[in-house]
Structure 1
């Protein structure tokens, strides 16, 4: 019987994201679970089991991509990829597994050790390969919980300048700025409150999740980790953590003052991303009508960035082949992309 059902797994350093197709290649599940990889590889194996339950199965073939090799439990990225692949083999054997190696395509797990450099942090290429087939030109902006990827596409192909995390950080194509886990002290060093500038505490008192919970912009169910103080995530809780960033208690100012402060942090993060967009666009000639293609749980910021750089906005979800019974969204774009690409390219691999 032909192979018909495929699952795709995007292994990050903080989350595991997965997607599953039906027999027609439509994505019927796409979700994420916590995976604190920095605490040990046993957490990855636990996340695999949890994701298997969330997806309702793993299908006939598994496709893998990753960024988790950067976790600081590994001595270097090479070891990180190797040990993650060992966990993959341990959990999924004897299921056929293919590992995404960017421009090298899908590699059988048994041969993956020869392609470690291409496998490392290649998930953004899955997203951009799928997008580039639909939009001849454009700039993909995938804004996640921790990082943002900016990948230009031209002539129907991805055109990243950076080839790894280091060179992508230099090129502006990788920005360590996300809408959940980024400490506010990483965005600005001072902030305005009641007409005065106040230097921020260099402490992990609050994160970007606090500003977007306070503003009501975060999609439901995407903030899976405890807050910085392991307390609640109500607007009042978030205001309390914001107040700590300026050495204050939330009762010292009105609630509207803390909302204004949250708007300021959101503005500064949007400026971070817009500056990276201008850097990327400065080296590649895209037509004025080439769109910003938004993906990730923070794509509400991509919509604003598109306005600022005077380009149309389109949503990555437009090209996902989703079951009509589930909401179409691009919250976990690499997981959805690798699943769709694998279903198209590996459909008859194990007939």
Structure 2
């Protein structure tokens, strides 16, 4: 480990190795934000906050955390809830696999661990939806196991201070950062240290315009001394973004009943409700859609209203473009379309009832703008 550290470019590697954790914890005690999950050692609440804050800013995640604690104050409450109810509370937060894993993990803890979280990193990793980062956070904060957490904030702090130019999303880079993080973590206060380094990256060593002039590591930071903060950390090129074009048929009966369906596994938004969907390789007008239900709608000469808004929704590796077509249907049409609608698991709900279904944000936006009064 000494050989590894001696290869880093920071001007005071030995000093930082000895005092990095001490200085960081001292800074944290004076500058950290007051957040509810920092006021507890309850692994349930720590776990809940970590799952919610994945890919989510604190300001956005905090109301969801409070909502979950209010609705499901214990792991038993969460485990006994239905997936639909959980998805409804999660609605709007995105990355819905997290919510389903949250539910599966709660049930596993209740059924296999008598409602108590495993108290070590290795055992935590065996739970559904808990990866190395979340396991390290729970193990260190709730049980004081000296396992470092490494998120985007930690990568940025370490890359800048120690001048690490290896890509953080490369195999070699992950190995280097893991070694360094394990060396630097406080063995006596890993709970405070892990929260401190994440907080330091979030509010001091920020991605853009870091507060270098007031930084406690200003004279130890290789990036600051070389004026290269904007160059670190290094990240390899992202996966190519795929475009998808959704054409939704918002089918309505007697001005009050809407046809909606629960999305099947194997794609985005599993378990959330949307409308009958025709996906194409490009955006098309209604008459251009190649779909059996579309042909039936044209056969029955139903009135079709195209919603002028084309909704754009950005996911990690995909950009969705959604067009909506509002269609009032007749009973004669429904008799012809019965098998098609049943095959797509489409069912009817009153407009009021749809407000309580778990839905993707994109669908919520459409309903609020064009159907809800």
Higher strand share: 1
| Structure having the higher Rg | 2
TM-score interval, smaller chain: under 0.3
Higher helix share: 2
| TM-score normalised over the length of structure 2 | 0.24
| TM-score normalised over the length of structure 1 | 0.25
